[in-house]
Structure 1
């Protein structure tokens, strides 16, 4: 039995199909066009391509987005792809595709995928953080996404940076209307801005050449991310922290983050591992597929 999912990212949209064992049988992507109606069409086109590649039709679709559904209005909110906000995205896709759509936050999809058979497999409490174009978090407990009463559990990117230091001022403005959100400090664009580079990749390239400014920016990123993750450890004490998104490819994070987290955790011991998402940039779309369990098919 083949299931289909969509990873709706800030820069690209991906549709994939997985077989019963969790192996890809189709995977296609296109750049995100950056507008609502055009994005609906891209999803429809990609799904048609994936169905052709997989040799199977999608009876239903899982969808991960950088935002969530308001339980009060049923509308998308908190999406950094701001043209999704205030829209009935899942319903509009259902109408466009003539099949049911189940939607979740993209960080929740990352957490679900990694808890199922990735870096968090076998662990009861998995916190997954996306450090990419934006900054988000997802929480899975005993194999289930925890969304909470207001649908915002794990919404980590719009907390303020804790235990501020002098070099954390002034607090940058965030697209959400606040200042100093974690997304303005530890997402990819924030890392690049702090180093004075166009992209996070160019910062890492500069580090390889011994550039002192880039090295200092990486030190600040690790310190800030450690402080931010300590909040999560104090609140939910996860068995494992899994990182996804573009910055998750920085190897130094896994060597240095535990020591950056530990001094801020209200405990006499800190043994929580920080791991890279086992499925890399596949985890978002895999988690979207997992939104429809096999027994629901």
Structure 2
């Protein structure tokens, strides 16, 4: 049995897979935000529940924000900032009493979808997470590209390309810079942008409902978001030129993105035609946890 853990900013999901990829048990707990020891305990509890429910012992793979630094063995670059500079790999293996494999959550998404999901069979797949944070993962010929610095695919911490007059220098990012893609395209960033322009507090899902009901300010918010996402992905295409870009995270549930963004990105892609497909993850919010399980 393989157990996958998807450690997100708002929830932790566990999935136990059988030998042929069948789901044996699935469970979620809220993420204990800003509580490192609580996060370790929650993962330990989820693993215990998976094994109790199935009567089997499993390997454990974890999809996490950021990465384990090759230089120090500590977590770096996590938007769940309470993990940063912590010996997370060492501590979790102590809690679980076994070896654990770790990968960036976006790499897990990309690996899952490239293996048997929306991008199955494509040679070059880029997975993007549009959620509490903005992450990315690159898979080439079935293998995740980690990189020499363990930051392969971290497109969310490049500056939003081709900034418009009101987008420079951009919001401050937890990484210490300003104007990062994450500060424009995450779920919290979308809500902040809508509040700034419309003077109303609302989640992305609420703004989508408003737009569908004819609210002009809500529609304008989505158009700004689509234009920013198109520029961010166009820059990615110019560098990586993937066959498929597959999206996960809460904002990937907004179906209009997959039509409207490719209709916009051609003006920034350095090509006479763009054949890259932009698709939602076949396994939705569970794609990352499946990829984590398949780390073994």
Q: Per the shorter chain, which TM-score range?
A: over 0.9
Match of 1:283 among 266, 283, 287: 287
Aligned pairs (5 A) from 1:176-255: 176-196=175-195, 197-255=201-259
Note if contact 1:91-1:101 (Cα within 8 Å) is conserved in structure 2: no
Partners in 1 of 2:153 and 2:146 — Cα distance? 7
The yes-or-no answer on 1:119 pairing with 2:123 is no
SS of residue paired to 2:155: coil
Q: CA offset at residue 198 of structure 1?
A: 3.0
3-state SS of paired residue (2:223): helix
Structure 1 residue 153, shift from structure 2 partner = 0.9
Partner SS state of residue 194, structure 1 = helix
**Deviating 4+ runs (over 6 angstroms):** none
Distance, in Å, in 2 between the alignment partners of 1:89 and 1:136 is 19
Instruction: Tell me the equivalent position of 2:156.
Output: 157
What are the ranges of 5 or more consecutive residues in structure 1 without an aligned counterpart?
Answer: 293-297
Q: Distance in 1 between matches of 2:228 and 2:283?
A: 25
Task: Quote how far apart the aligned CAs of 1:169 are.
Answer: 3.9
Residue matched to 1:175 = 174
Alignment size in residue pairs:
290
Give the Cα–Cα distance (whole angstroms) in 2 for the partners of residues 139 and 170 of structure 1: 28
Q: Provide, for residues 221-276 of structure 1, a one-character-per-residue CA deviation record: whole Å limited to 9, x for no partner.
A: 11100100011111110010001001101111111111222111111111111000
Q: C-alpha distance in 1, partners of 2:266/2:55?
A: 50
Secondary structure of 2:267's match? Answer: helix
How far has the Cα of 1:21 moved from its partner?
2.0
Residues 116-136 of structure 1: CA deviation (Å, up to 9, x unaligned): 100110101000100001001
Runs of 5+ in structure 2 lacking a partner?
196-200
Question: TM-score under structure 2 normalisation?
Answer: 0.96
1:72-83 paired onto structure 2 within 5 Å: 72-83=71-82
Q: C-alpha deviations, 1:83-127, integer Å up to 9, x for none?
A: 100111111111111111010100000001000100110101000
**2:165 aligns to what?**
166
Aligned partner of 1:42 in structure 2 is 42
- RMSD over equivalenced CA pairs, Å: 1.0
8 Å CA contact retained: 2:169, 2:178: no
- Per-residue deviation at 1:170? 5.1
1:139 aligns with: 138
